[in-house]
Structure 1
């Protein structure tokens, strides 16, 4: 992770391109701490490196998972999303590539989102032996409508940036080379406004996030109970081996 200070705006650049900027507990903790410490800035921007935005939680250990490791991954991601929502400053997702799984939920958590035209969006949970319970199964429905949110969460399809904008998942789509200049212009516009009343407006708008918060904890508790299940192991193993999963039949 790389932190950049630009005109009183904190830019957080996810910097693990070898794993498409997927976050592990250490990375999500670092992001949380950076966001939590940004109250003296005008805004916070989260973006990726190496042509990817974020692939969600790191799957490297999911084919041989332990309850402790998975609990740490889940709790770390929830803390990160909560930090974004409770940050007194607007948090903008500058989506410069694929936002997949928890990376798509990261977009859901941010207050505003601007996407490069080459960016893609989508959930991965049931395909890789997991479930997107920290945003996609609850708050995303408020943002884009219940039926469309269930389509993303259940079918694990990929959507281009223009379709994400039509759905309401992002605010704007721009050419790739205009992404950061556009985000900087939005930040400059925010800088002209009252920080005090921006904070009131932002925290007041968290009503649906706060209402869904118990659902996050309940969902993560169910995920912990499913650690090591045949579905989790097969989904993660197939992902790492770049093949289609062969899940057990329903019971």
Structure 2
């Protein structure tokens, strides 16, 4: 299978799914998210699934270029597509490994959170972008990431929108291993080989039973999407998108002003 925005390569029993929009650091819109879902579903006959990015980036999350003049239907489709993508990873019977070759930002960081295992290039970076670009990381950053790395650290990522190195991501437990860039794919293949030597039946049981916290967060995901949808075209969304496009700090207005300021 090969589509404009997603490439799939079979290497024996390992399915490599490559996000293929390098000009935008593999940021996804609704149709691209659905393409990745189809690729995951079509790879059910493999033993291991790997998700990685084409070019210098792993995934920059949701595509922001049209957010300064948003079509509510398209934005909602991106939100729903994002949840469908992360759900497809979690509900696939196969182990899914993130091969993080570059920046994992915003929804791309949440993509790493959703994967069962993550191996990163030493040049990869990680972090959430939500409040900086007029959004919030409600599909993993605010609800599942605290389970993985601890509540205080997860709030640091979700609130402050800082960038973290691969070494820092490893220390906090966001990834399983960090290797040199030229060793990334071979290391992922080694981990995949270990998985392929195990019982696929009992790996599936282990994986699906590990979804306890993910399943418990379903209400949080749905309410989060609902709140984001209600904020489409808000001042903060428009300003965040424009600032991102213009490569400048955003100028968000305070929620409350004193009478003297009115």
Instruction: Give TM class, smaller chain.
Output: over 0.9
Counterparts of 2:104 and 2:218 in 1: how far apart (Å)? 22
| TM-score under structure 1 length normalisation | 0.99
Report the alpha carbon displacement of residue 7 of structure 1 after superposing the two structures with TM.
1.5
Residue number among 231, 236, 242 corresponding to 2:236 in the alignment:
231
The separation in 2 between residues aligned to 1:120 and 1:7, in whole angstroms, is 30
Counterpart for residue 82 of structure 2: 77
Distance (whole Å) between structure 2 residues aligned to residue 126 and residue 66 of structure 1: 20
Cα separation, 2, equivalents of 1:158 and 1:97: 12
2:157 is equivalent to residue 125 of structure 1: no
Please tell me whether Structure 1 or Structure 2 has the larger radius of gyration of its CA atoms: 2
2:184 to 179, 184, 196: 179
| C-alpha displacement of 1:228 | 0.4
- Partner Cα distance (2:72, 2:20) in 1: 27
1:60 counterpart SS class: coil
Shift of 1:51: 1.1
Residue 49 (structure 2) pairs with residue 57 (structure 1): no
The yes-or-no answer on 1:32 pairing with 2:37 is yes
- Find the residue that maps to 2:50 and give its secondary structure: strand
- Aligned pair count reads 251
The TM-score with structure 2 as length reference comes to 0.95
C-alpha distance in 1 between matches for 2:178 and 2:185: 12
Deviations 1:190-244 (A, max 9, x none): 0100000000000000000000111000000000000000000000010011111
Structure 1 CA distance, aligned partners of 2:44 and 2:54? Answer: 24
User: C-alpha displacement at 1:91, in angstroms?
Assistant: 0.2
Runs of 4+ in 1 over 6 A off after TM superposition: none
Q: Deviations over 1:157-179 (max 9, x none)?
A: 00000000000000000011100
SS of residue paired to 1:114: strand
CA distance in 1, matches of 2:235, 2:180: 42
Per the alignment, residue 167 of structure 2 pairs with 162
Give the secondary-structure state (helix, strand or coil) at the position aligned to 2:217: helix
Task: Check the 8 A contact 1:56/1:102 in 2, yes or no.
Answer: yes
Please, which runs of 5 or more residues in structure 1 have no aligned partner?
Answer: none
Deviation at 1:116, TM superposition (A): 0.3
CA distance in 2, matches of 1:136, 1:7: 34
Post-superposition CA distance 1:32-77 (Å, at most 9, x none): 0111122211010000111110000000110011221111000000
Partner of 2:221: 216
Does the Cα contact within 8 Å between 1:9 and 1:43 map onto a contact in 2? Answer: yes
Matched, 1:17 2:22: yes
